Amino acid sequence: MGKMIYTIKPEHHGIQDITRILEEHPEIQFVSFMGVDIGGNGTDEKIPVKLFVKDMEDMLKYGIQTDGSSVELQGIADLNDAKVDILPDVDCTWFVDYNYEYYNDENGLPVGTLKIPSFIIHSGKQVCSRSILKRATFNFQNELMEIFKKHPELTKNYGFNHDDVEEIVLTSATELEMWVKTPEQSADFEELHTSQVLKEQYWKRTMGTVRTVLEKIMDQLECYDLKPEMAHKEVGGIANRIDAKGRITHVMEQLEIDWRFSTTLQTADNEIFIRELIEDQFRHHGLEVLFKAKPIEGVAGNGEHVHLGAAVKLKNGKRINLFAPVDMKNQYLSEIGYGALMGILKNYEVINPIVTATNDAFNRLKPGFEAPICTVTSLGGSKESPSRNRSVLVGVIRDSNSPLATRFELRSPNPYSNTYLVLAASYQAMLDGIEKVTDAGRSMDELEKEISKKYGEEGFYLEKFREYRSEEDVFERFTEEERNKLYGKAPATVWENLSAFESNELKQQVLKKGDVFSCELINSFKESTVQKWKNELKGRIIHDNIMLLKTFVKLHDEQNHATDLDVVNWEKIVYLKTKLMKDSMTKKCIFTKIKNALAEGDFDTASELQKQMNEKMTEIRGLYIQYKNNIF
């Protein structure tokens, strides 16, 4: 049996090297071109390896043509002009995706597919998520070099000149949370909720199949040179159950897996591959993986913190973190760091529609679950003490003994967020802040004062009637009304969130600078997101709510076992059920009103009705639990 290979690095993407590698590894029988559409979905254009070798030169230079109507490029690749090209990216790592259920006859190794991240091209323009992030990275690097030339004092503080710079390096990383469960089995909600409140599963040792699979995944990540850093249980879950024969019959656990940072585009590519690797490994062992932002109502959802950093690599080999101040003991951030942080906060209204683009994501963003809904940051109680505030939108990660570790942690994304677009939008916003801060020429103390400004105070960049920093738990310290005033009212539905593009036209221009995003691409994202929102709302959410409400049945007998509390609670439940799902000759229920509004294209009304539906569903769930628990 030969030795398996797991990646092909960019330095080996020449035709001779690739041909040699494929000849030496007959187990690699397919090549897949992975373009990533506006929705963040990776294509799988699978080609037999013999055909790829035969036409490799043309395929690497011109790509292959396919039907673009089958991917999310609404308003771009329509039915009347649907053909798109998928062009391989020769400047990133290629992965070998192995099928451990199918083995090669020649050498007995699992059959592999060479997965090549690619760009999607329509009418001569790159229109995919990967190309947007590539342009954002290029734009940030180029514009920052111009800022260095314009403001040489910035680099002199670090002891170098702009012509000493070999490369500006943008580094990113993501953390992936997931629920793992036995298929077709569900855990009792109250048991899950109680376990979470008591934090019985957090950081607990994994056991049985979950432990086995987790260790296999960590080993495989190492094989792919993805450098796993940690894997552990999260706060959600219950203890496994074992049958009379000692077999685990029920698994319901929340996990997190982290791996080493990389460059922006490689980070997003890595995440897609790792997600598939995780799903394959758990499925191979009979377990289901749920990456949904809120797979189980009432308990912790899945987040995906995104880390953002920037550094310069000098010609002498030295690397300098651009967000870290020269004096870590007396300053929180550098001028560039303050600008980048303020850029995200100032422009978050046009980042948020990209971060939170599904109905499910809004179910996760609720107080009490460490999911941020307030546009606010925390710098730390003192210059030498890093911030530990988990209630903020953007965390500042800093270690006074390790300047290279300084970075920002965007805490709002979830596993369904399109990481390519989240990174692209974030770096565009950071660049806007850096430009404004460096042009303003303010001192470090003035920059700290700007980000710490109080509501109603004028700022040279940040908005007057907003606050942007809190060292307290914003959910404990402030009421909802106070949070809305200080940090802006967070959108509650997908449509409400998308509407921010129109109501923040100037901030939308920040995304478009350097031709990173275009009107065409933003409109395609909006059209795709709206389509998914309304289809899921009328085709799944309302249906699922109806099925749930039908399980809320009368349990008491008024003559013998009912108390006044039972009667009152049941009357409230009946009222809410009627309001939600029962039409009369003269009145339509909320579910019908939502469907009618969607059919008429009245998305403002549908969005408001969705909020009413969510509020009433939350109320009736709580009532029914109370009612059920009071019955003998």
**Which position has the token pair 């002199």?**
156
Q: What percent of the chain has pLDDT over 90?
A: 74
User: 3-state class of 201 per DSSP?
Assistant: coil
Contacts of 530 (CB under 8 A, 6+ apart): 494, 495, 498, 603
In DSSP terms, which residues pair with 113 in a beta bridge?
30, 97
d(CA 497, CA 370): 20
User: Under a CB-based contact definition with an 8 Å cutoff, are residues 510 and 428 in contact?
Assistant: yes
Q: What is the pTM of this model?
A: 0.94
Band the pLDDT of 222: cuts 50, 70, 90. Answer: very high
d(CA 51, CA 58): 11
d(CA 578, CA 574): 6
Burial status of residue 625 (CB atoms within 10 A of its CB: 0-12, 13-18, 19 or more): middle
Band the pLDDT of 166: cuts 50, 70, 90. Answer: very high
E strands within 369-423? Answer: 377-378, 394-397, 407-410
The pLDDT of 554-561, averaged and rounded, is 77
Q: What is the pLDDT of residue 268?
A: 97
Choose among 305, 194, 192: nearest CA to 253: 192
Band the pLDDT of 69: cuts 50, 70, 90. Answer: confident
Half-sphere exposure of 476 (CA within 13 A, CB side): 10
Identify the residue with better confidence: 190 or 29: 29
Band the pLDDT of 193: cuts 50, 70, 90. Answer: low
d(CA 450, CA 455): 11
Report the b/e string of 12-36 with b at 16+ CB within 10 A. Answer: ebeeeebeeebeebbbbbbbbbbbb
Choose among 217, 213, 227: nearest CA to 173: 227
Half-sphere exposure of 97 (CA within 13 A, CB side): 24
E strand or H helix that includes residue 607: helix 603-629
d(CA 116, CA 26): 18
d(CA 526, CA 354): 9
Q: What is the pLDDT of residue 1?
A: 47
Q: How many residues does the chain have?
A: 632
User: Under a CB-based contact definition with an 8 Å cutoff, are residues 362 and 379 in contact?
Assistant: no
d(CA 337, CA 438): 11
Contacts of 6 (CB under 8 A, 6+ apart): 95, 96, 223, 224, 225
Tens digit of each residue's pLDDT (9 = 90 or more) over 334-353: 999 999 999 999 999 999 99
Q: What is the pLDDT of residue 184?
A: 67
